[in-house]
Structure 1
Amino acid sequence: MNANFFGRLGVLRGVKADQQLIVFLLFVALFILFSLTLPSFFGVGNLFTLLRTVSVLGILGLGMAVVVVGRGIDLSMIACLTVPTSVVLMLSGHGHGLAVSLLGGFGMAALVGMLNGLLVAYAEIPSLFATLAVGIGLAGVGQSGLFDYEIVPWPPSLDVIGWLGRGEFHGVPYSVFAFAIATAVVGVFLRRTRFGVFIYAIGDNPSGARIAGISVRPIMMLQYVISAVIAVFAGLVLASSASNMDTRIFNLTWIYDVILVVVLGGIGLSGGRGGALSVIVGTLLMGTIINGMTIMNISFEVQSLIKGVVLLAAIGLDSVINPRNEETAQQGDI
């Protein structure tokens, strides 16, 4: 039974590799098309903007990937990006040391992740609703007087880590290196560690994972803690690049962009499939689409409509490639 279980997992991962190739070819085609038709797309300034945008989006996609591989979803990621990151900036601005400030922000994020995990794994509330409620509540905490202003400035005392979103090395923004490091860490975690293998097993078949002796509920909690911590890392990259953190970001549609990155890259919403490479190809395609629409001066409303259609098409494709059945449709579904 276990051999067949992991055998099916290997076959399905092979199918997803084909989707990754298709998405990568779409990215190359779009990049060439935009370079030829949009005068400012291939400019140095725009490419730097594209790389910085892609970096933050990709880091968030890595956090979402860990949860989706385990057959969940985390709609609280953008709130975790804004509020705990703003806590880091606020604490540092009030004279606290770097270690205390980082501990405060990442600690807050870890607690949020644990709350998500408790609601999903132990209270058995569907992750879609649990993380949405937690995200709204966390955003409310941030907007209810916790910070002096809606836009929290980057304090000079944090400049020691300011390189995360500033500067470049031979023309490549440091934020790209931050994305690369995060990708390597998440990739190794998912593919080379026991906990990563457990997450794939839980995502593929929670009941089978329990029979195999895996502690399903604690591993599910771990997924949400990792997602929240990665969101704060993305927040620090964003805040250092912009020299502030706008807590109103929660009201934007970033969470849908993150889900698009994950689904387009080939991480099945039914769980147990995809990985860090999926996030890379999804991020490249999604970042190019967003950047191209911005250069074409497409209105925000029309952009949202286009992204909605793309997301619907991607989810439809995922349901065809990764159909659910009675054996795998257990607790943990979104």
Structure 2
Amino acid sequence: MRELWRKPFWPLVVLLLLNLVLAPGFFAVRLQDGRLYGSLVDILHNGAPVALMALGMTLVIATRGIDLSVGAIVAICGAVTCAWIAASPDPTSPGAAIGGIGVALGLAVALGAWNGFLVSVLGIQPIIATLVLMTAGRGLAQLVTDGQIITVNNPLFSAIAGGELLAVPLTVIVAAAVYALVALATRRTALGTLVEAVGINPAASRLAGVRARTLIWTVYVFSALCAGVAGLMISSNVNAADANNAGLWLELDAILAVVIGGTSLAGGRFSITGTLFGALTIQTLTTTILSLGIPPEVSLVFKAVVVIVVCLLQSPKARALLGRRRRRRGAAGGAPPADPPPGPPTPDPDRADGAATPIPAQRSTP
């Protein structure tokens, strides 16, 4: 039981059991118009953007960094794609959607390269380097949209979030494929070991021949690319670009998912599977709050409480403190401790050989 609290899946299991008791229809899944529907499907579908952002954030944090700009990149990519489609001669053509998607993802890669340049080349602290783009990026998205909500009606673009493959939403398939590729690259090759080495000690890894600067640069580019794909999913889900609200505070959800998954914020140790469970936990909590009729404004408070509880239960110091208190209560209410076993006989200094003087047996008085 003590080892169970260290696993990243137990918060998700607790939330699912809570829904099983409070909302029995939570687990109902139905097939309609060739697509699966239900609360569980909604969790996977709506949680795919956060899961992708958390995946990129995992590798960044593993290199002892942080990326606060992913929410702004979500807004920028959605704004650029919708603006490109709306300004094209035929906004409903597949070519307009492909062009907008290509420009948006290319811009995401460029923004990630900018973050990586500030961190790895100029040596700026990651939280400061990405805070610059977090602040300026949303303003850039508002410049692209002119402060307005741009709506589009492009079938190919709508299929990103509304399409399905074998009745499974396309967003779930894309997120699962990216997770599988990253897991294979980090656990079946030396890439994962190199990332952990850079996160544990960048100077030592550089002296050992690891190209730490290139690796750090690459993880920031990958994080921005994941955020760009998430931005396409979010804007495609509503067929619009809202530069003010798209991706707002999603960088915090991504960081929370990484923390719940067990990745060390100090760098080095990371878990791809744990991050996936963390992202699903965040989305399940949001869906549970909405299904129970709790106002959405209160969801941030519930998220904070859940994250604090999970972090405390996963903290070694908190577990050690609880263990000491449990042992003290057991010692206070249990049986008195038994006498220690007798030790070896003490040598007698009066004897030449240093042996212990035998104790004569006492005779009973008749």
For normalisation by structure 1, the TM-score amounts to 0.81
Query: 1:115-138 CA distances to partner (integer Å, 9 max, x unpaired)?
Result: 211222222222112211211111
Q: Which of 232, 239, 260 pairs up with 2:235?
A: 239
Against the structure 1 CA distance between its residues 101 and 250, is the aligned structure 2 distance closer, same or farther, given a 3 Å change threshold?
Answer: closer
Residues 14-33 of structure 1 correspond to what in structure 2 (within 5 A)?
A: 22-33=7-18
In structure 1, distance between residues paired with 2:16 and 2:310? 20
Structure 2 partner of 1:91: 84
Native 8 Å contact 1:154 1:240 kept in 2: no
Query: 1:44-68 CA distances to partner (integer Å, 9 max, x unpaired)?
Result: 4333322211112111111111211
Residues 315-330 of structure 1 correspond to what in structure 2 (within 5 A)?
A: 320=316
Residues 110-125 of structure 1 correspond to what in structure 2 (within 5 A)?
A: 110-125=109-124
Partner of 2:26: helix, strand, or coil? coil
In structure 1, distance between residues paired with 2:85 and 2:47? 27
Runs of 4+ in 1 over 4 A off after TM superposition: 18-21, 96-99, 193-196, 312-321
Larger Rg belongs to: 2
Against the structure 1 CA distance between its residues 140 and 185, is the aligned structure 2 distance closer, same or farther, given a 3 Å change threshold?
Answer: same
Structure 1 partner of 2:276: 280
Q: Which amino acid aligns with 1:115?
A: W
Structure 2 partner of 1:325: none
In structure 2, distance between residues paired with 1:131 and 1:51? 28
In structure 1, distance between residues paired with 2:138 and 2:16? 35
Query: 1:159-183 CA distances to partner (integer Å, 9 max, x unpaired)?
Result: 3354331133454322111110111
The one of the two structures with greater contact order (alpha-carbon pairs below 8 A, sep at least 6) is 1
In structure 1, distance between residues paired with 2:10 and 2:133? 37
1:315 deviation in Å?
Answer: 5.3
In structure 1, distance between residues paired with 2:247 and 2:97? 29
1:209 deviation in Å?
Answer: 0.8
Structure 1 partner of 2:131: 132
Structure 2 partner of 1:34: 19
In structure 1, distance between residues paired with 2:97 and 2:160? 15
Unaligned stretches of 5+ residues in structure 2: 30-37, 89-94, 318-366
Over the aligned positions, Cα root-mean-square deviation in angstroms equals 2.5
* 1:167 partnered with 2:163: yes
Q: Which amino acid aligns with 2:20?
A: S
1:99 deviation in Å?
Answer: 4.7
In structure 2, distance between residues paired with 1:313 and 1:25? 12
Against the structure 1 CA distance between its residues 40 and 152, is the aligned structure 2 distance closer, same or farther, given a 3 Å change threshold?
Answer: farther
Structure 2 partner of 1:220: 216
In structure 2, distance between residues paired with 1:212 and 1:98? 46
Structure 2 partner of 1:71: 64
Q: Which of 138, 147, 150 pairs up with 2:148?
A: 150
1:230 deviation in Å?
Answer: 0.9
In structure 2, distance between residues paired with 1:131 and 1:200? 21
What is the aligned residue count?
Answer: 301
Q: Which amino acid aligns with 2:265?
A: L
1:276 deviation in Å?
Answer: 2.1
Residues 303-322 of structure 1 correspond to what in structure 2 (within 5 A)?
A: 303-314=299-310, 320=316
Native 8 Å contact 1:87 1:104 kept in 2: yes
- Per mean C-alpha deviation after superposition, the further-off stretch among 225-234 and 52-61 is 52-61
* 1:296 partnered with 2:292: yes
1:313 deviation in Å?
Answer: 4.8
1:33 deviation in Å?
Answer: 1.8
1:318 deviation in Å?
Answer: 6.6
Q: Which of 192, 197, 204 pairs up with 2:188?
A: 192
Name whichever structure is richer in helix by fraction. Answer: 1
1:40 deviation in Å?
Answer: 4.9
Against the structure 1 CA distance between its residues 290 and 272, is the aligned structure 2 distance closer, same or farther, given a 3 Å change threshold?
Answer: same
Against the structure 1 CA distance between its residues 115 and 169, is the aligned structure 2 distance closer, same or farther, given a 3 Å change threshold?
Answer: closer
Query: 1:274-321 CA distances to partner (integer Å, 9 max, x unpaired)?
Result: 232122111222221111112223334432123223444555667648
Q: Which amino acid aligns with 2:19?
A: F
In structure 1, distance between residues paired with 2:25 and 2:118? 47
In structure 2, distance between residues paired with 1:94 and 1:187? 39
Q: Which amino acid aligns with 1:280?
A: L
Partner of 1:201: helix, strand, or coil? helix
Q: Which amino acid aligns with 2:26?
A: F
Q: Which of 40, 57, 71 pairs up with 1:47?
A: 40
* 1:252 partnered with 2:245: no
